[in-house]
Structure 1
């Protein structure tokens, strides 16, 4: 019998892709482990982060600590998107706006983006329209929604986390256990859902 890989060459291709994917994943995980963030902050500074979410994000150590916390919850795309928007607004030349806006949109906003953030349909559509002729404010609405989501959802959990409690006690935080990812949803996504109560009768 002929070699099945000759009859179905795609089998051979997918197999090699799978091996490469595993290699990439392994090397990425190793790199992540080696790039463990060391957070250097005084307990007094860390206590100030509890005053407001804005104060936490305004300090590099606070941003690093919060990013590290979000990684344990598998929701780091939120802070990455927020940071990308902050960097985007610092663009000095208009000809950089379109390619940068498209990259941010394709990475974080479009449906099934690799790091898709949790935005309602209307905000996604509004953002898509904004980047056709981008300005420095093209992502403001989307960024504000993600900011509020982090402020109301992730930030309170961060303040209760062992990581933060270690910092305000002056201890270097130990590597936290990973939480299972749970994507929050917005009310708008479920407004049009019709419930059929007759199935219970």
Structure 2
């Protein structure tokens, strides 16, 4: 009889443990299922958010477009026609510079004009520390290998700048700026004069939407090394 009592006593003690273990296992399964469901739901939301986002190249709201047109209409056809007389006249006019920059953005080559503008600003530096700081910023942004907005320069020009960047002068980027100027004058400027952006201005028309396109940058400054090398101060 004692053995029997001991036997039933063990069953009564084990039964709660079994139920507890079952509940723990069952509850863990629910928790894992719940986590998986949350992860799947999150992934679906991420995919949906990507689908509804506007492409970066065409993120053009009506307010932005109207603001651009307001700027463009300030330019008279007569003034725009003067831009076609020379690259110098285009860059020396504030609206001309802005319009040319907008054109280069459609060709994904705006780093050229941004580098030119940065060099113009750099040459106005007065304080020695400011010269060093700006020179380093230009070098890291436009000149060094794999720079975020690297301009198309030959190895020799880059090497000279690299060696002098620790002790820069106001003339440190003159050669590089001249190379980039020649590229824009002989290549981008010629296409600009034939673009809808420019032709619409010369005829007093409102700007039409421009299509962004990737253009080959296989050309180098060597193609234009016979061109005029002097770069005037426009701004």
Query: Does the CA-based 8 Å contact 2:77-2:202 persist in structure 1?
Result: yes
Please report how far the alpha carbon of residue 41 of structure 1 lies from its aligned counterpart in structure 2 after TM superposition: 0.6
Range that drifts further, 171-180 or 90-99: 171-180
Question: What SS does the aligned partner of 2:80 have?
Answer: helix
The aligned counterpart of 1:161 is: 195
1:145/1:41 Cα in 2 relative to 1: closer, same or farther (>3 Å)? Answer: same
Query: Considering only aligned residues, what root-mean-square deviation do their CA atoms show, in Å?
Result: 2.7
Q: Does 1:68 align with 2:68?
A: no
The aligned counterpart of 1:48 is: 82
Query: Does the CA-based 8 Å contact 2:152-2:221 persist in structure 1?
Result: no
Please report how far the alpha carbon of residue 28 of structure 1 lies from its aligned counterpart in structure 2 after TM superposition: 7.6
The aligned counterpart of 2:174 is: 140
TM-score, normalising length: structure 2 = 0.65
Please report how far the alpha carbon of residue 26 of structure 1 lies from its aligned counterpart in structure 2 after TM superposition: 7.5
Compare CA radii of gyration and give the structure with the larger one.
Answer: 2
Question: Aligned partners of 1:72, 1:32: CA distance in 2, in Å?
Answer: 13
1:119/1:164 Cα in 2 relative to 1: closer, same or farther (>3 Å)? Answer: same
The aligned counterpart of 1:104 is: 138
Correspondences of 1:73-84 after superposition (within 5 Å): 73-84=107-118
Question: What SS does the aligned partner of 2:85 have?
Answer: coil
The total of aligned residue pairs comes to 168
User: Could you list the per-position Cα deviations for residues 45-67 of structure 1 after superposition, in whole angstroms to 9, with x for gaps in the alignment?
Assistant: 00000000010000000000000
Gaps of 5+ in 1: 4-21, 189-201
The aligned counterpart of 1:89 is: 123
User: Could you list the per-position Cα deviations for residues 8-37 of structure 1 after superposition, in whole angstroms to 9, with x for gaps in the alignment?
Assistant: xxxxxxxxxxxxxx9xx9798798766554
Question: What SS does the aligned partner of 2:112 have?
Answer: helix
Question: Aligned partners of 1:135, 1:54: CA distance in 2, in Å?
Answer: 25
Please report how far the alpha carbon of residue 180 of structure 1 lies from its aligned counterpart in structure 2 after TM superposition: 1.6
User: Could you list the per-position Cα deviations for residues 165-185 of structure 1 after superposition, in whole angstroms to 9, with x for gaps in the alignment?
Assistant: 000001132221112231133
Query: Does the CA-based 8 Å contact 1:164-1:173 persist in structure 2?
Result: no
**Aligned with 1:122 (options 156, 175, 185):** 156
Question: Aligned partners of 1:96, 1:31: CA distance in 2, in Å?
Answer: 36
Question: Aligned partners of 1:168, 1:56: CA distance in 2, in Å?
Answer: 13
Question: What SS does the aligned partner of 1:141 have?
Answer: helix
The aligned counterpart of 2:165 is: 131
Question: Aligned partners of 1:96, 1:155: CA distance in 2, in Å?
Answer: 32
Gaps of 5+ in 2: 1-31, 33-49, 223-235
